Copies of this chain bind each other. A is one copy, B any other.
Amino acid sequence: MNFLEERIQRDGIVKEGNVLKVDTFLNHQMDIGLFRQMGEEWKRRFAGTPINKILTIEASGIGIACIASEYFDVPVVFAKKSKSVNLDGGMYVAEVESFTHKCKNQVIVSKKFLGPEDRVLIIDDFLANGYALQGMISIVSQAGATVAGIGIAIEKGFQPGGRTIRNLGYHLESLAIVEDMDAETGKIWFQEQNENAG
């Protein structure tokens, strides 16, 4: 197991309905030392890939993306969730379904911050159905920019998001892929990764 899998195993809590709570270190309280390890690991996995911008989405992607950016030395842009967009033409907009809230949100990025010259690393905390990620990819496409890579902390391998994204040919690096989990026993199984994948 790598450092993140070990941490999930130790501090993650499995709840009914395929919920994995990692709020003690990832998305409510944030362990910045752990985020540094994640940034370092993505830097290793995307070595040699030109990247000049990181894109994430509010709220829980932001902290991870900011710390990761210290290893890539690039600015971070976060997509904003918006109910009532002042569509003044200055925004890229994508519709994102929310699994938790059973509704659709618009996410927006100002056109000032993404253009055809950009090679974007997309960072987020979770990948399950992949709706948020698809929205971010759509925004990068609207900008004529390139998705240089996608870095995810925790992928739920038993949900279809990751497979779809890999099928589409994107370079997706999830640091921990949960293969299965059991709310009764609290046990979590991870998909095996290459030894050299940290």
Contact surface of A with B, Cβ cutoff 8 Å: 23-24, 28-32, 35, 58-59, 62-63, 65-67, 69-70, 75-78, 80, 109-110, 112-113
Q: Which B residues lie within 8 Å of A69 (CB)?
A: 30, 32
How far apart are the CA atoms of A59 and B60 in the complex, in Å? 8
* Neighbouring B residues of A113 by C-beta, 8 Å: 24, 28-29
Question: Is A110 a contact of B23 with CB atoms below 8 Å?
Answer: yes
Majority DSSP secondary structure for residues of A touching B: mixed
Complex: how many Å from CA A113 to CA B24?
8
Q: Which of B23, B59, B80, B112 contacts A62 (CB 8 A)?
A: B59
CB distance from A17 to the nearest CB of B (A): 13
Provide the residues of chain B in CB contact with A76, threshold 8 Å: 29-30, 32, 63
> How many Å lie between the Cα of A113 and that of B11 in the bound state?
14
Task: Give the chain B neighbours of A78 by CB distance below 8 A.
Answer: 28, 30, 59, 63
With A59-B59, A59-B62, A67-B66 known to touch, is A75 a contact of B29 (CB < 8 Å)?
Answer: yes
Q: How far is the CA of A77 from the CA of B30 in the complex (A)?
A: 6
A117 to chain B, nearest CB (A): 15
A113–B76 Cα gap in the complex (Å)?
Answer: 27
Bound form: Cα–Cα A30–B24 in Å? 25
Inter-chain contact B112/A24, CB cutoff 8 Å:
yes
**Chain B residue at minimum C-beta to C-beta distance from A34:** B75
CA distance A159 to B69 in the complex (A): 34
- Taking CB as reference atom, which chain B residue is nearest A67? B66
Kindly report which residue of chain B lies nearest to residue A114, judged by CB atoms: B29
- A29 to B30 Cα, complex, angstroms: 21
Chain B residue with the shortest CB-CB distance to A81? B59
Assess the A80–B30 pair: CB atoms within 8 A.
Answer: no
CB neighbours of A63 from chain B (8 A): 62-63, 65-66, 76, 78
Which of the residues B24, B35, B77 comes within 8 Å of A28, measured between beta carbons?
A: B77
